[in-house]
Structure 1
Amino acid sequence: MPDASTLGPLPQWDLADLYPSPDGPELAGDLERSADKAKSFRASLEGKVAGLSGADLAAAIAEYEAIEEVLGRIMSYAHLRYAGDMSDPEIGKFYQSMQEKVNAISTELLFFTLEINRIAEADLAAKMDDPALAHYAPWLREVRAFRDHQLSDELEQMLHEKYVAGRAAWTRLFDETMARLRFPFDGETLTTSEILDKLSHRDGAVRKKAAESLSQVLGENVGLFALITNTLAKDKAIDDKWRHYKRPISGRNLSNAVEDEVVDALVEAVRDAYPKLSHRYYAIKAKWFGRDKLDYWDRNAPLPNDDDASISWETARDTVLDAYAAFSPDLAAVGRRFFDNPWIDAPARPGKASGAFAHPTVPAAHPYLLLNYQGKTRDVMTLAHELGHGVHQVLAGPQGHLMSDTPLTLAETASVFGEMLTFRSLLAQRTDPAQRKVMLAGKVEDMLNTVVRQIAFHTFEERVHDARAEGELTPTQLGDIWMEVQRESLGPAFNFEDSYRVFWSYIPHFIHSPFYVYAYAFGDCLVNSLYAVYQDAEQGFAKKYLDMLKAGGTMRHKELLAPFGLDASDPAFWSKGLTVIEGMIDELEQMD
């Protein structure tokens, strides 16, 4: 891992913009006031929602939104403290305590959306004549999308209350287990983020040793990870059965405001393209390494002529902001706020959540970014990615707490677009053919990780959930599914040793957000098409793009993409996006 003198000072976030301290009067006061307001809200409106006028329903929604925003602020603070150090039992206790208290308060509010969903369509249409209620039309549309899957009030309340002792508790067990794992390596003990970073080390012996250490420790814990996976899959199956979802993925698609058929078309297009994309690229990469096949730990290996130099934080910041500014000074100005303020937590440290994320918190505050920055080119791209999320969240904030959230399928658009801007900027600066080849190969690998790898993850989830319907899965069965999917997606250019069988167990998305992962491929293919429109120098593209980000959750993908002449429901749409990756592989092949 590079030392601090190489990377320079790395920023750490200050959560005081949310609350000054976990035990201060500000947080305690918000909890107490929220509890009182929620009880009062329920006492005055329960059983009466359908009879409200349009104006009165709008006022009730505004009151509901205000309470929910405060609860969102509390949980954002608790989650970010927890992500900063999952190994501290006091922080874990605080996080669980906040979950339980907020859950109890939100239980008082549960009746409201349930009653909204029981309003007849004709009655609601009449109420929508009121402009104040019409403002909330997008939120009402998304709430009412779940009408057919709603249970009785008593069951909904019971499931809501049990969440903290059910799915949330199993998720916490996974997170804290992963945070506490230590991986032996050359006399040191490394965190998950640090050992994963070794898999992209220049030295093949280091990569192999890191893979063996990762496999050893995951293998020692695979029984627990299998239990967590089995339990959550069964929990989801029970919920899906009661709610009458056709397939395990259907609930996720509904929350993403995307049709099952659109996602099926994406998955089919990517899987059909495996031979033209991943199989072909990794065969080329093996040839660059002078080998017939790569070992699985060589998937993210730097190319032989990659200088692998560490990139300082200051350089990474300037690289990303300059790329954003070349596209839109307004976009860069929003992005710069994250660096001018303590909104980013960049260092890798023990106990910290692995990977990276952007947390939107609430519109009354601002987003925060979590990274594990270690100075690689991929880390710069991760910064560009998460900053894209952050900028999107800031721009969508004025839509308000209920309508600023973007469906996952579109939430990845700004992040992947930010990566593409940064990559194109860096590539334009490279005049040496060898370095251009390294840059282009790195981008292809990132795209394969975003598209092929994520659809492979999606396929793994589908097969696991389908198999779990027949009974509990052993670690061996889970490993069999994993290996089958990896061989199918990455192709014949790899040697897959048995030590790779447990690598499914560290992927957090399977635990945190079932069927989340296809959103990455959705976003990458969408951005490829979007960037092609931009390259055609269409007048006013940047303004249209910023308007799309500002829309937040008020529009669905068809409405948002229409100004660009794109339609994700057209099966040919996905092939266009995949053709961009294929074209880059063509270019690399011609460089040999």
Structure 2
Amino acid sequence: MSKAYFSAPVAGATTISRVRRDVAGESGGAPALAGLPRWDLSDLYDGPESPKLVTDLDQADEDAQAFARVWQGRLDSLPGSELAQALAEYQRIDEVLGRAGSYAQLLFAANTSDSGVGRFAQSINERLTGISTHLLFFTLEINRIPDDVLATQLADPALAHWGPFLRDLRVFRPYQLSDEVEAVLHEKSVTGAAAWNRLFDETMAGLRVRLGGEEVTLGSALDTMSSPDRATRERAARAIGDVLGGNVKLFSLVTNTLAKDKAIMDGLRHYPRPTSARNCANMVEDEVVDALVQAVTEAYPRLSHRYYALKAKWLGLEKLEYWDRNAPLTTQDEPLITWPDATRQVMAAYEGFDPRMGKVARQFFDNAWIDAPPVPGKASGAFAHPTVPSAHPYLLLNYRGRTRDVMTLAHELGHGVHQVLAGEQGYLMSNTPLTLAETASVFGEMLTFRALLDAQTDPARRRLMLAAKVEDMLNTVVRQIAFYRFETLVHDERRKGELLPARIGEIWRQTQVESLGPAFSFTPDYDAYWTYIPHFIHSPFYVYAYAFGDCLVNALYGVFRSGHPGFQDKYIDMLRAGGTRRHKELLAPFGLDAADPGFWQKGLDVIAGFIDELERV
């Protein structure tokens, strides 16, 4: 029930959109990538020593204590209009805390190896936790209001406005503990899971891999595994395996501790299984997630197994090694795409879909809302952070000028547009569950891909683009469900006792063999590759949201391509809804239903159709 305001560099579902790719690092300094934009965080605060930051936190502390004195112990006896007044004041204070937490988080994400920034971020987290302790009673007390009393209060139009927030809050009602226990758990969070998250982040940021006589970051080494030269990929893969294997005991300790911590929390709250807390946060039923996972795992043979068998044939190999998974299908280096060209390509797709969406997207380029260069010490991957509605979102990228980086820009920009539009709902109701948060991002990526594919007249280049898109979709759907299966097995087994590093590696290999299929062989060093996936540490069971979003968007895009009347208006209305509507309500105008067993097949059939086309080439 408590809110984690900061967990660097990737926080919980309420604050940040997930790291998109699992390959990142610094660039080689190519001239074509000069002048990449850096963000300007002064729209939040003008520095860690900002007097405004000090004033805001001091005032929020004072306001939070006054809030508790006025409202605590009274909520079930208030008329609806007064409870609405309390909610408005709670949102105002909470947004101040969210602004400070966002600033600390973003500052750390761009400077993960700076100990001074790490210390500042931790101090902000501790301060926010202390202040928010005064507010903790509010949501707990709301959930103790009897249903009939709350129904009477909601008859007041002023409180009815807050209905979606109250609806989603009460999902957690069965799992709520006493106020005293919740307060202890809340205050100790900074020395519990958040501390282990920080240890993971700082360790990862400090790892160096020796390649070609040079020490490079882990992200840069991972990027080398996409080299067109197989020997280069193998050297990078084995060097990464050595580094991860050398640190596997530490990462196993972090994983075992966090899994045990989660098991304790789940037991206290009586969640039926390890995934249930995440599903509640995503406002999606366990059965819907189960149906998604089953559909994807049953589709492994016709998707990933089939595609990678084709890839092995194209590369002239009897077997693929794990370092061949991201191998390009041409030995020629891909031409670098400059930032201005990437901007034009993505904006053309967004504006071509609807000028209103293009107008929102343009703000990110016209203002310093994007941090693009892949520099040492920066968080790997990519994300979109909504911050608070009174400010604006920020995008973090590690742009290297490849087609996949253009797709990542299109993806994160979709998040940003969604976050701007949803901000109209206010701080408490703008946040979208993870399962729907990926909708705008994947849709924006699909728009960009289709525009580029339709403009491509060279059959060979078109085939390469189509294959790259299939690989991206497999990474988003199949790979993420394999990650989810890995987490499920680890958390289930951890409940029986601590897992040795070798056992975690066995589970990792099992899920990878299942998902990637017989085209691959795996050397023992791959067993340590689970260690660098940040989702497992920061957001257990987050990963299925990618598959959910991709399959959902495939179905949604099919509706768009069919000429569904008023699609753009309905789509923008869906984004503006933020967290006020559930997935069933949002998809109904398009004639879609995620609870329908055939829904997921529609999304998977799109991927299968692309592979069909590649087989015919």
TM-score, L = length of structure 2: 0.95
Letter of the structure 2 residue corresponding to residue 381 of structure 1? M
Residue 207 (structure 2) pairs with residue 161 (structure 1): no
Separation (CA, whole Å) in 1 of partners of 2:442 and 2:316: 32
1:30 aligned to 52, 56, 65, which one?
56
Does the Cα contact within 8 Å between 2:229 and 2:331 map onto a contact in 1?
Answer: no
Q: Residue 96 of structure 1 corresponds to which residue in structure 2? A: 122
1:87 to 113, 134, 147: 113
Equivalent positions of 1:535-550 (< 5 A) are 535-550=561-576
Note the C-alpha offset of 1:305. Answer: 6.2
Match of 1:175 among 201, 226, 230: 201
**Match in the other structure for 1:410:** 436
Indicate the residue corresponding to 1:477 in structure 2: 503
Structure 1 residue 580 corresponds to structure 2 residue 600: no
**How far 1:7 moved relative to its partner?**
1.7
Q: Give the AA of the match of 2:273.
A: R
Report the more deviating stretch, 185-194 or 50-59: 185-194
SS at match of 1:145: helix
Alignment partners' CA distance in 2, 1:421 and 1:164: 41
Per-residue CA distance 1:259-296 (angstroms, 9 max, x = gap): 00000000000000000000000000000011111111
Is 1:340 aligned to residue 366 of structure 2?
Answer: yes
Equivalent position to 1:558, from 584, 597, 606: 584
Q: Is 1:227 the counterpart of 2:248 in the alignment?
A: no
Task: State the 1:181 CA deviation.
Answer: 0.8
Between stretches 198-207 and 556-565, larger displacement belongs to: 198-207
366, 386, 389: which one pairs with 1:360? 386
Q: Which moved more, 1:189-198 or 1:392-401?
A: 189-198
2:159 is aligned with 1:133: yes
Match of 1:7 in 2: 33
Secondary structure of 1:369's partner? strand
Q: Which amino acid aligns with 1:175?
A: D
Indicate the residue corresponding to 1:421 in structure 2.
447
Instruction: State the Cα distance separating 1:4 from its structure 2 match.
Output: 4.0
Q: Deviations over 1:59-91 (max 9, x none)?
A: 000000000000000000000000011111110
Quick one: structure 1 residues 4 and 342, their matched pair in 2 at CA, closer, same or farther if it must change by over 3 Å?
farther
Question: 2:269 & 2:54 partners in 1: Cα distance?
Answer: 36
> Can you list the C-alpha shifts for 1:482-502, whole angstroms capped at 9, x where unaligned?
000000000000111111110
Of 524-533 and 40-49, more deviation after overlay is shown by 40-49
Taking the TM superposition and a 5 Å limit, the aligned residue runs for 1:247-396 are 247-304=273-330, 307-396=333-422
Q: 2:297 & 2:396 partners in 1: Cα distance?
A: 31
Residue 519 of structure 1 aligns with an amino acid whose one-letter code is: A
**Runs in 1 of length 4+ with deviation above 2 angstroms?**
1-4, 304-307
The equivalent of 1:490 in structure 2 is 516
Contact kept? 2:482, 2:515, Cα under 8 Å? yes
1:144 aligned counterpart, secondary structure? helix
Look up the SS of the partner of 2:300 in the other structure. helix
Name the structure 2 match of 1:189. Answer: 215
More displaced 10-residue stretch of structure 1: 349-358 or 71-80: 349-358
What is the SS of the residue equivalent to 1:477? helix
Structure 2 residue identity aligned to 1:520: Y
Displacement after TM superposition at 1:154 (Å)? 0.3
- 2:492 alignment counterpart: 466
2:586 aligned partner, one-letter code: L
Confirm or deny: 8 A CA contact 1:323 1:422 kept in the other structure: yes
Q: Deviation at 1:192?
A: 2.2
> Residue deviations 1:448-481, cap 9 Å, x none?
0000000000000000000101110111000000
**SS of the residue 1:277 aligns to:** helix
Q: Residues 390 and 160 from structure 1, CA distance in 2 versus in 1: closer, same or farther, beyond 3 angstroms?
A: same
Structure-2 residue corresponding to 1:43: 69
- CA-based RMSD of the aligned residues comes to 0.8
- Secondary structure of 1:292 counterpart: coil
Could you tell me how far 1:539 is from its partner in structure 2? 2.1
Q: Equivalent of 2:85, from 35, 39, 59?
A: 59
Show CA shifts across 1:548-592 (max 9, x none): 00000000000000000000011110011100100000000000x
For residues 333 and 99 of structure 2, what CA distance do their matches in structure 1 show?
44
Question: Which residue does the alignment assign to 2:425?
Answer: 399
Deviates more, 1:323-332 or 1:516-525: 323-332
Structure 2: distance between partners of 1:212 and 1:156: 46
Contact 1:199 1:207 in 2 (8 A): yes
Q: Does 1:214 align with 2:259?
A: no
User: How many Å apart are 1:367 and its aligned residue?
Assistant: 0.3
User: Structure 1 stretches of 5 or more lacking a match?
Assistant: none
CA shift, 1:129, in A, is: 1.2
Which stretch of the first structure deviates more once superposed, 335-344 or 185-194? 185-194
Which letter does structure 1 place at the counterpart of 2:103?
Y
Aligned 8 A contact 2:228 2:331 in 1: no
Q: CA deviation at 1:8?
A: 3.3
What is the distance in 2 between the residues matched to 1:552 and 1:451? 24
* Alpha-carbon shift at residue 304 of structure 1 (Å): 2.2
Alignment length (residue pairs): 591
SS of equivalent residue, structure 1 residue 184: strand
Letter in 2 for 1:351: G
Q: CA deviation at 1:307?
A: 5.0
- The answer as to whether partners of 1:386 and 1:415 remain within 8 angstroms in 2 is yes
Task: State the 1:202 CA deviation.
Answer: 1.2
C-alpha distance in structure 2 between counterparts of 1:91 and 1:307, whole Å: 37
1:306 deviates by: 5.8
Mapped to 2, the partners of 1:364 and 1:370 lie a distance apart of 20
How many Å apart are 1:2 and its aligned residue? Answer: 4.1
Does 2:483 align with 1:457? yes
Q: Is the 8 A contact 1:193 1:372 kept in 2?
A: no
Q: Please give the alpha-carbon distance, in whole angstroms, between the structure 1 residues aligned to 2:590 and 2:215.
A: 50
The code of the aligned residue for 1:54 comes to: G
Question: What one-letter code is carried by the residue in structure 2 that aligns with 1:247?
Answer: R
Higher RCO (CA 8 Å, separation ≥ 6 residues) = 2
Q: 1:62 is matched by which residue type in structure 2?
A: A
